[in-house]
Structure 1
Amino acid sequence: MTYPTLSIATDRLRLTVLAAGGPRILGLQLDDGPNLLAETPAARWATPWGEFALLGGHRLWHAPEAFPRSYWPDLAGPEAELIDNGVILRSAVDPGGIAKTIAITLDPTQPRVHLRHTLTNHGLWPVELAPWAITQLAPGGVAILPLHDGQPPANPLAPHRQIALWPYTPLPDPRLHLTADYILIDTSLSGPPAKIGAHSPAGWLAYLHHGVVFLKQVTYHPDQPYPDRNSNLEIYYDQGCTELETLAPLLRLDPGAAVTHDEVWLVAPWSSHIDRGDLFKTLAKMVAELV
């Protein structure tokens, strides 16, 4: 089944989004290159409300994940609204009273995108949740999850790196490489589904594929609790896609209230000759130039 879409573009970037409902970003191209986002037409699950279709690309959920709540079918909803240099995507209100919005703005001069994710509680009761922005990328690349922000630890006698592992993550995993600065995941290798997260002040994730780096950056809130054993950055990977996931802190969202979670994306050519020893510093420098 196909769904109506529309595109927004600059001289460097093109995004394809669902024309209604979702919200979903289905395509991301740099300089007329291949779609960097995963396409997952076969990923579908039965739910009490009908079939949930994943589609691939970028979506907004709210954590913590639970079935069937997280898998409410959301492809029917308001039409997308075009704005200057971008588009606003909206969902219908889900059975729990939550509505999702993604406002997307393209930088007119740089291959950069700003996304504002918003969850609004239209229900009658407060809901504990956290905005959760998930980007599914085409498989076969290398994902990078930074473990710190490059600053000296405040107390060298206290731990300053925290990793969370999901029950289905195999160990040892030949796709997974742990360094002092980052976790590197080579998704060109075959293996079962896996997921890893971290509590990291770095506030960014990266993916290297097709001679391109896709980098997403968020604000880190050091004094607020995050879902999933306090993870603010997560990566899921399997044969069909690699997901870069950022989370906002958990909060109690009262009826009528809304919460936002901003991401900045950068898409740029990437040299395969960069040494792994320089990888963290190179990507961290790119992030610093984003903000």
Structure 2
Amino acid sequence: MTPLPTVTITSRRLHLRVLASGGPRILALHLDEGPNLLAETPNARWETPWGEFALLGGHRLWHAPEAFPRSYWPDLIGPDAEQIDHGVILRSAIDPGGIAKSITITLDPTHPRVHLRHTLTNNGLWPVELAPWAITQLAPGGLAIVPLHNGQPPTNPLLPNRQIAFWPYTPLPDPRLSFGDDYILIDTSQAGPPAKIGTHSAAGWLAYLYQETMFVKLAVYHPHGRYPDRNCNLEVYYDHSCTELETLAPLHHLEPGATVIHDEIWQVLPWSTTIDQHDLFKALAKVAEELV
């Protein structure tokens, strides 16, 4: 596949490389002079009725629920990226269902932090039910952390406060999964088949430890929203090529001409790999609290 034109945006600590047109895609994320935290998947491609869909890796915007071929519409041809102060706006063409995507990326000028505004607009003739779905493919071999709750005492201790969903292809038991009271750890350095889990968690964040760098992404949690995939707002897919951290917004009845927004904040930090697992949830919860 011929290399695609890209644009690089930088802050004091972060370097991002994005597609120069179409997508929208973020292809690389570096803290200081460190490695690319995002996965590169040049061989992941699928034939669709509209041509070949190329995954590329990195960060993308989809809308749930997932379906083939709708979710896999080839999106590499589209409007040029628009430079803005401290960032860029990436836009897609309008897909066959009438949906246009955009991601506004803004780098914090002083902290290793990124603000992302994901937007879906219905340019079709009919209402559509969908949920914005922000998917970040990270380099394989790290440790994913999935919080099962927000750390607050339950309002009613007689009712359940933790929910886990398993996709049909997820093997159980899976030695890559480790369950604690507050979180699930996924050790993607271990070999295994493709797998995916999800949760409905008021925490609203996911994290990934890769080569002494911690990547945290936070999205707004809507307690009264109806989420896709058996009410999951946080999901993680993992295989030998990447680990996907995925946040979702609630399902929306999107009228023609209407727009729905899903915001994320990313924080990238140096992180000790020797931190005790018992303290991991508290430390990451504190990071996420500072992002709100």
The reply to whether TM is greater than 0.5 is yes
Partner amino acid, structure 2, of 1:260: I
Within 2, Cα distance between the matches of 1:204 and 1:81? Answer: 28
Q: Which residue of 2 aligns with 1:155?
A: 156
Q: Which residue of 2 aligns with 1:109?
A: 110
The TM-score, its normalising length taken from structure 1, stands at 1.00
SS of 2:77's equivalent?
Answer: coil
Within 2, Cα distance between the matches of 1:104 and 1:224? Answer: 25
Residues 234-264 of structure 1: per-residue CA shift (max 9 Å, x gap): 0000000000000000010000000000000
Q: Does structure 1 residue 3 correspond to structure 2 residue 7?
A: no
Q: Which residue of 1 aligns with 2:79?
A: 78
Q: Which residue of 2 aligns with 1:184?
A: 185
Residues 110-141 of structure 1: per-residue CA shift (max 9 Å, x gap): 00000000000000000000000000000000
Partner amino acid, structure 2, of 1:112: R
Residues 157-179 of structure 1: per-residue CA shift (max 9 Å, x gap): 01111111000000000000111
Aligned residues: 291
Question: Among the aligned pairs, what percent are the same residue?
Answer: 76
Q: Does structure 1 residue 281 correspond to structure 2 residue 286?
A: no
The TM-score, its normalising length taken from structure 2, stands at 0.99
CA offset at residue 210 of structure 1? 1.2
Q: Which residue of 2 aligns with 1:197?
A: 198
Partner amino acid, structure 1, of 2:135: I
Gap runs ≥5 in structure 2:
none
Within 2, Cα distance between the matches of 1:223 and 1:30? Answer: 36
Q: Does structure 1 residue 170 correspond to structure 2 residue 171?
A: yes
Q: Which residue of 2 aligns with 1:26?
A: 27
Residues 190-216 of structure 1: per-residue CA shift (max 9 Å, x gap): 000000000000000000001100000
Q: Which residue of 1 aligns with 2:261?
A: 260
Q: Which residue of 2 aligns with 1:218?
A: 219
CA offset at residue 22 of structure 1? 0.2
CA offset at residue 85 of structure 1? 0.1
Partner amino acid, structure 1, of 2:59: H
Partner amino acid, structure 2, of 1:42: N
Q: Which residue of 2 aligns with 1:134?
A: 135
Partner amino acid, structure 1, of 2:174: D
Gap runs ≥5 in structure 1:
none
Within 2, Cα distance between the matches of 1:78 and 1:227? Answer: 29
SS of 2:290's equivalent?
Answer: helix
CA offset at residue 224 of structure 1? 1.1
Runs of 4+ in 1 over 2 A off after TM superposition: none
Within 1, Cα distance between the matches of 2:262 and 2:22? Answer: 19
CA offset at residue 273 of structure 1? 1.6
Within 1, Cα distance between the matches of 2:101 and 2:252? Answer: 16
Q: Does structure 1 residue 209 correspond to structure 2 residue 178?
A: no
SS of 1:95's equivalent?
Answer: coil
Q: Which residue of 1 aligns with 2:18?
A: 17
CA offset at residue 32 of structure 1? 1.6
Q: Which residue of 2 aligns with 1:53?
A: 54
Within 2, Cα distance between the matches of 1:254 and 1:239? Answer: 39
SS of 1:158's equivalent?
Answer: coil
SS of 1:268's equivalent?
Answer: strand
Q: C-alpha root-mean-square deviation of aligned residues, in Å? A: 0.4
Partner amino acid, structure 2, of 1:92: A
CA offset at residue 290 of structure 1? 1.2
